[in-house]
Structure 1
Amino acid sequence: MRASRLVSLLLLLQTRGRMTAQELAEELEVSVRTVYRDVESLGASGVPVYADRGPAGGYQLLDGYRTRLTGLTGDEAGSLFLAGVPGPAAELGLGSVLAAAELKLRASLPGELADRADRVRERFHLDAPGWFRADEPTPFLATVADAVWRERQLEVRYRRWKAPREVTRTLSPLGVVLKAGRWYLVAGAGERVTAYRVANILDAEIRDEPVTRPAGFDLAAFWREWTDRYESSVYTDTATVRMTTEALARMAYVFPPEMSRVARAEATEPDASGWVTTRVPIESVRHGHIELLKLGADAEVLTPPELRERFAETARGLMATYGADQGHDRGHDHA
């Protein structure tokens, strides 16, 4: 414990320059007296640390005393400080580990590269979740990550969309993925490898049995293939829709990416009135109805007939609610 604290003290002085005993004590969460003893120990071990007396004084290392990383370019140093995303790291239970690693990295960089890394940190911030999404509760994320790291099987109680809703599975964890603010566990179940939404795990327990990783398994490659298959399996139907060019452009902001991408890729040239005809992937008639309502009167469903009829029913219902006569009668009664 003391050895770790001595290293942290040394790295703080390398990173921040002159620091008072009180500042060091607050950072290390120890007493000022402990700082005095630790500084003496560093000096006795050959570390060139000295004290400046007075109100503006403090402890400082001799100029040039630092460990340097060789072969690291300015761009590489800056990119390393973009790699750590504090929020997700904290969710994985690695927040303090990440902070310690960044402190060590920052302390070991030569002055010019350290300044460049600091500028990257000051000017770029990564925010993984999408807009208007609250964080999902993932109480078992740290357990899942631990099983992945230790290569141990994981017994989970899991909530899924089809009956039976709750199932118990013994999984072979292979990796964890953060996608648009949502955590997923990639794991083997028997001969099948698939992804499980961590927020749907109701209970998790690490078992003693080891996990044997498939030969040549590549987490990033698997995730690309799995997401492609998932999106293809979700959108099992299509709708033919006429819409204004403004509605087509608006789809990118209010529709799931796959629906917007296909619609924009397959749109015809605008006609004289500025309308296009295109194909829109949908999960079902109900799903298509909910999504395409976002376009209001700027879109007309042509097929399938069931979806077109559902929109006709919606239009009749809206007319009954918002029709001119109805509005006049309600206003008259209120008066």
Structure 2
Amino acid sequence: MRASRLLSVLMLLQTHGRLTAAQLADRLAVSTRTIYRDVEALHAAGIPLYGEAGHAGGYQLVDGWRTRLTGLTAEEADRLFLAGLPGPADELGYGDVVAALQLKLHAALPAPLRDRATRLQQRFHLDAPGWYADGDASPELARTAEAVWRQHRVEVRYRSWNGEVTRVLEPYGLVLKGGRWYVVADQPGRGAPATYRVSQILALTALPQEFDRPADFDLPSWWRAHVVRFRARLHRDEATVRLSPGGRARLREIAGDPVVTAVEAGAGPPDAHGWVTAVLPIESLTHAHGELLRLGADVEVLAPAALRERLAATAAGLAALYRAG
């Protein structure tokens, strides 16, 4: 385990140039004291590694020195092939590149690892989009990716929730979430990145101006925090409902974990017909109206009154429509 960590320290420094003990400890999930001991061990092994104190300090390899320890373990080779998602790479315009990379890697691996990689590709297939959609790749996805890579500003015509808008954006990165592509971008001078769904970009013009991507911006960390903030804002209201046994069984198909957990943990005892009463977190009256309609007669809304009235009006309209037919 320690030998693997020492190699990881070398690879991190070789990749990033200079890192503090705290940064190394965070990336390797160990204490800074452990990093200090690892650095001493690397020194003892003759690795040309030095450290500088101060705000801009950290550990660094001597310029020009690179490790030749580039061998892959079986597990690393497996994960590398597993990570090569052909669908998203194709959408970005990199499908041929990924295919060529996998072919070269496959040819370079020793026979045992090559057999494992072939077996892995034959047994695991990753399909990112959901069942009812093929994702939402946009004609502008490849050009958005190019702007992200080259750090060029873009002007986009974008379909937002309140109509079409035109924005000048500085794109920091692309994220694939649930089969949908999002670009994380800032508006010049705003200093607060936001997310834009790429399929809603109606037109994109690459601008000649480059921009300086913040040195401390970490896309995975920012996205994780964004998801936490999004989920915290998602369920702000509550609805009291009665659910039949069938409604409870189907709830997981239409609702997220917070709603399902609320029923499983907070539902009262079932009545003589198996119906239970529970308080559900809801995003809005409009959203809850659409979602609960999917349960049909397996749910009855008790409160709030406005939601109950909406569902009653919809049910009355449906009944009238089918009576007329």
TM (norm. structure 1) is 0.69
Task: Summarize deviations over 1:147-206 as a string: whole Å, max 9, x none.
Answer: 1111222221111011xx121111111110111111100111221211100001111122
**Is 1:300 aligned to 2:300, yes or no?**
yes
Structure-2 residue corresponding to 1:270: 269
Structure-2 residue corresponding to 1:34: none
Q: What letter corresponds to residue 193 of structure 1 in structure 2?
A: P
The 1:91/1:320 distance shift into structure 2, 3 A limit, reads: closer
1:147-158 paired onto structure 2 within 5 Å = 147-158=147-158
| Contact 1:248/1:263, CA 8 A, preserved across alignment | no
Q: Which structure has the bigger radius of gyration?
A: 1
Structure-2 residue corresponding to 1:216: 216
Structure-1 residue corresponding to 2:167: 169
Report the Cα offset of residue 137 of structure 1: 4.6
Q: What letter corresponds to residue 198 of structure 1 in structure 2?
A: V
Q: What letter corresponds to residue 103 of structure 1 in structure 2?
A: L
Structure-2 residue corresponding to 1:279: 279
Report the Cα offset of residue 232 of structure 1: 3.5
1:1-335 paired onto structure 2 within 5 Å = 71-162=71-162, 165-189=163-187, 190-255=190-255, 257=256, 260-264=259-263, 266-273=265-272, 274-320=274-320
Report the Cα offset of residue 316 of structure 1: 3.6
Supply the RMSD in Å over aligned alpha carbons.
Answer: 2.4
Q: What letter corresponds to residue 210 of structure 1 in structure 2?
A: E
Q: Distance in 2 between matches of 1:316 and 1:149?
A: 54
Q: Distance in 1 between matches of 2:142 and 2:69?
A: 32
Q: Distance in 2 between matches of 1:191 and 1:283?
A: 28
Unaligned runs of 5+ in 2: 1-67
Q: What letter corresponds to residue 93 of structure 2 in structure 1?
A: G
Report the Cα offset of residue 271 of structure 1: 2.1
| Contact 2:137/2:181, CA 8 A, preserved across alignment | no
TM (norm. structure 2) is 0.71
The 1:125/1:313 distance shift into structure 2, 3 A limit, reads: same
State the SS of the aligned residue for 1:192.
coil
Task: Summarize deviations over 1:111-139 as a string: whole Å, max 9, x none.
Answer: 00010011000000000001111442501
Matched positions, count:
255
| Contact 1:267/1:276, CA 8 A, preserved across alignment | no
Q: What letter corresponds to residue 188 of structure 1 in structure 2?
A: D
State the SS of the aligned residue for 1:130.
coil
Q: What letter corresponds to residue 116 of structure 1 in structure 2?
A: R
Report the Cα offset of residue 234 of structure 1: 4.3
Deviates most, 208-217 or 85-94? 208-217
State the SS of the aligned residue for 2:279.
strand
Q: Distance in 2 between matches of 1:113 and 1:288?
A: 51
The 1:284/1:94 distance shift into structure 2, 3 A limit, reads: same
State the SS of the aligned residue for 1:228.
helix
Q: What letter corresponds to residue 73 of structure 2 in structure 1?
A: T
Deviates most, 234-243 or 220-229? 234-243
| Contact 2:171/2:185, CA 8 A, preserved across alignment | yes
Q: Distance in 1 between matches of 2:127 and 2:168?
A: 33
Report the Cα offset of residue 285 of structure 1: 2.3
Task: Summarize deviations over 1:15-58 as a string: whole Å, max 9, x none.
Answer: xxxxxxxxxxxxxxxxxxxxxxxxxxxxxxxxxxxxxxxxxxxx
| Contact 1:237/1:284, CA 8 A, preserved across alignment | yes
| Contact 1:259/1:282, CA 8 A, preserved across alignment | no
Structure-1 residue corresponding to 2:19: none
Report the Cα offset of residue 70 of structure 1: 5.0
Report the Cα offset of residue 246 of structure 1: 3.4
| Contact 2:267/2:279, CA 8 A, preserved across alignment | no
Q: What letter corresponds to residue 306 of structure 1 in structure 2?
A: A
